[in-house]
Homo-oligomer: A and B are copies of this chain.
Amino acid sequence: MRAFVTGGAGFIGSHVVDRLLADGATVTIYDNLSTGFREFLDDARLRPGFTLIEGDLLDTERLKRALPGHDVVFHFAANADVRFGLDQPRQDLEQNTIGTFNVLDALRSAEVRRIVFSSTGSVYGEPHVFPTPETAPFPIQTSLYGASKVAAEGLITAHCEGFGFQAWIFRFVSILGERYTHGHVFDFVKALLADPHHLPILGDGRQRKSYLHVGDCVEAILTALAGADGRVNVFNLGTEEYCTVDDSAGWICEHLGVKPERQYSGGRRGWIGDSPFIFLDCSRIQTLGWKPKLSIRDGILRTVDFLMSHRWLLERAARR
């Protein structure tokens, strides 16, 4: 396999890169290093078949020059934080929607026809069916992030119909684990290191959320790529459980041996556009034989351990 990984220096992308290289693929990484880290590629760069191209998805010429000669693109480059869409509304449009269009356009020029895409459970908006299946009722988008990902999904599947592309689209719950760079575990660990006596929590703490460890995520992606051969293959990716933000806070505090006062910002949602309940029906991917190995709790604690031993990330990855 000659893989092209956009966002390959990012959290999930770099794990995909490591796995593909370990499996013997040659891998070209295309990343603008805006939220990715060269350090995430320290293992990868020692392998044969590794190439890093520093480039942005909006640089269509560079993208078009880089793509020929590959046989599949893993398109993971994105503005991946759902929370800040309202501060910079154009960012999701540019990096996620237009960026995806540019990738598709370059694929077409290069006659590369297979694309793996990291979408999100946020495309379900605030669903009314739980666990939420891939065929949930036509959702109303509630975040600019979700809107940008549903737009990207549409561009990809229209290219499947119109230009004979084949796509594997994954709607993730929140992914965590080694190299995790944003989200509530990041915020909690950082806050507790600064002040172990107080823990600020967005919302009322009762938001119900699902999390998946990045190792399980990568395994699921490769399982689907090997086992699903439709023109358009859409899979939810998550665990068969959910937890509350309060549960997670409790596990993290116990693990760190702290007993802070919890300071809630209040409200059912952590931020505008936040979905108070995320729980995806993952039976479709499970029919291919995949099952997550780590529970939500285990995934969260491994993430805490990683952050505690990589404290430089807590500074450098803080909203750049």
Q: Which residues of B contact A157 (CB under 8 A)?
A: 125, 140-142, 147
* Per-residue B-contact encoding for A89-118, CB less than 8 Å = 1, 0 else: 110010001100100110010000000000
Q: Which residues of B contact A97 (CB under 8 A)?
A: 93, 97, 151
Of all chain B residues, which has the CB nearest A153?
A: B141
Number of copies: 2
The answer, yes or no, to whether A289 is at the interface (CB within 8 Å) is no
The answer, yes or no, to whether A227 is at the interface (CB within 8 Å) is no
Contact between chains at B105 and A140 (CB < 8 Å):
no
Consensus secondary structure, chain A interface: helix
* Per-residue B-contact encoding for A124-135, CB less than 8 Å = 1, 0 else: 110000000011
The answer, yes or no, to whether A234 is at the interface (CB within 8 Å) is yes
Which interface class (under 10, 10 to 19, 20 to 34, 35 or more) fits A? Answer: 35 or more
In chain A, residues 261-297, which have Cβ atoms closer than 8 Å to a Cβ of chain B?
272-273
A148–B155 Cα gap in the complex (Å)?
8
In chain A, residues 140-163, which have Cβ atoms closer than 8 Å to a Cβ of chain B?
140-144, 146-148, 150-151, 153-155, 157-159, 161-163
The answer, yes or no, to whether A86 is at the interface (CB within 8 Å) is yes
Partner of A138 from B85, B135, B151, B162 at Cβ < 8 Å: B135
The answer, yes or no, to whether A24 is at the interface (CB within 8 Å) is no
Contact between chains at B143 and A158 (CB < 8 Å):
yes
Contact between chains at A154 and B158 (CB < 8 Å):
no
Contact between chains at A101 and B90 (CB < 8 Å):
yes
The answer, yes or no, to whether A139 is at the interface (CB within 8 Å) is yes
The answer, yes or no, to whether A22 is at the interface (CB within 8 Å) is no
Partner of A93 from B101, B125, B147, B232 at Cβ < 8 Å: B101
Q: Which residues of B contact A90 (CB under 8 A)?
A: 101, 105
Q: Which of A86, A136, A158 has the most CB of B within 10 A?
A: A158
A147–B155 Cα gap in the complex (Å)?
6
With A146-B154, A151-B150, A234-B140 as contacts: A161 and B98 at CB distance below 8 Å: no
Of all chain B residues, which has the CB nearest A104?
A: B89
Q: Which residues of B contact A161 (CB under 8 A)?
A: 141-143, 272-273
Contact between chains at A138 and B140 (CB < 8 Å):
no
Given contacts A143-B158, A158-B273, 6 further A-B contacts (CB under 8 A): A86-B162, A90-B101, A142-B158, A144-B162, A147-B155, A150-B154
4 nearest A-B residue pairs (beta carbon): A147-B154, A151-B151, A141-B154, A135-B137
